[in-house]
Amino acid sequence: MSSVKEVLGNLGLLDYFAEKRTCKKCGAELPYPAFRNNNMVCPSCGAYQRMNAEERISLVVDKDTFIETNANMESKNIIGFPEYSAKLKKAKKDSSLKEAVVCGTGEIGGQKCALFIMDSSFMMGSMGTVVGEKITRLFEMATENNLPVVGFTTSGGARMQEGIYSLMQMAKVSGAVHRHSESGNLYIAVLTDPTTGGITASFAMQGDITIAEPKALIGFAGQRVIEQTTGEKLPKGFQRAEFMLEHGFVDIIEERKRLKYTLTRLLELHSR
């Protein structure tokens, strides 16, 4: 009889089970599958861990239906910003991604849609020209094909290493969102931890329906900047999903285990 270790080894899954993860809230150190099989929610304390694009896709998109678009688009050091080329190289290596957003089409509960999934493991999900371009193309494709867009945001904001080009991506994507909206198609924005700065000030807040994950940080100005600028103490729960719901900027706070179900119902209700 072979040991569990041998079986896993033969299946190429040894690393998967050997990899440990530490809960960012309670510090519990558990094997990766313990998190993965629990929707990346800590089995010990229930804290939501940030999901990467692959984990997010497997959470909400029907198995084997996701087809990635513009997968090979890569950023260049467009304004010759110091150290940016090296940072990009490192981000690619560390995240195994080419940029901070994955776009494509897929089905959610059998409903075909266009999807963008931001990934904070690539330079904090910041938006430069490639992120802006990929999301713009996705909305344009969705407009052309009359598809709803479901987008997952997580980002520190615009990417300063691309200067004014990054800022202008906010307007560029907004144009594509506008056309998609004018064509009568649905856009559901799902705000995940953290969604801040220029992303909040553009497509994160332009959905027909805005869903947030529990306790996700959602805001425009950074907390430290607000404290330093105003000298005021931030109220408890400031800029969290629950705070945003209370102040009228989020439609629904949905738990991960119910997210796919809720998205499916909303997509079905809007199917045309």
Residues near other proteins (CB under 8 A) are: 73, 78-79, 81-83, 128-130, 132-133, 136, 158-160, 162-172, 174-179, 181-182, 197-198, 200-206, 218-221, 225-226, 229-230, 232, 234-235, 238-239, 247-249
Task: Indicate the residue among 61 and 131 with the shorter CB distance to other proteins.
Answer: 131
- Report the nearest approach of other proteins to the CB of residue 57 (Å): 23
- Report the nearest approach of other proteins to the CB of residue 155 (Å): 12
Q: Provide φ and ψ at 234, rounded to 5°.
A: -75, 140
Task: Indicate the residue among 115 and 158 with the shorter CB distance to other proteins.
Answer: 158
Task: Indicate the residue among 28 and 253 with the shorter CB distance to other proteins.
Answer: 253
Task: Return the exposure string of 86-118: e unless at least 16 CB atoms fall within 10 Å of the residue's CB, then b.
Answer: ebbeebbeebebbbbbbbbbbbbbebbbbbbbb
- Report the nearest approach of other proteins to the CB of residue 203 (Å): 7
- Report the nearest approach of other proteins to the CB of residue 87 (Å): 10
Nearest to 78, CA basis, from 193, 148, 159 = 159
Angle at CA of residue 189, ends 188 and 192, nearest 5° = 145
Q: Which structure tokens are listed for 145?
A: 């094909």
Q: Confirm if 131 and 169 have CB atoms less than 8 A apart.
A: yes
Q: Which structure tokens are listed for 189?
A: 């924005």
Task: Indicate the residue among 28 and 78 with the shorter CB distance to other proteins.
Answer: 78
Q: Confirm if 207 and 169 have CB atoms less than 8 A apart.
A: no
- Report the nearest approach of other proteins to the CB of residue 256 (Å): 23
Distance in angstroms (rounded) separating the CA atoms of residues 247 and 208 = 17
- Report the nearest approach of other proteins to the CB of residue 249 (Å): 5
Size (the chain), residues? 272
Coil, strand or helix at 204:
helix
Task: Indicate the residue among 14 and 201 with the shorter CB distance to other proteins.
Answer: 201
Which residue shows structure tokens 């144009």?
A: 175
Task: Indicate the residue among 42 and 244 with the shorter CB distance to other proteins.
Answer: 244
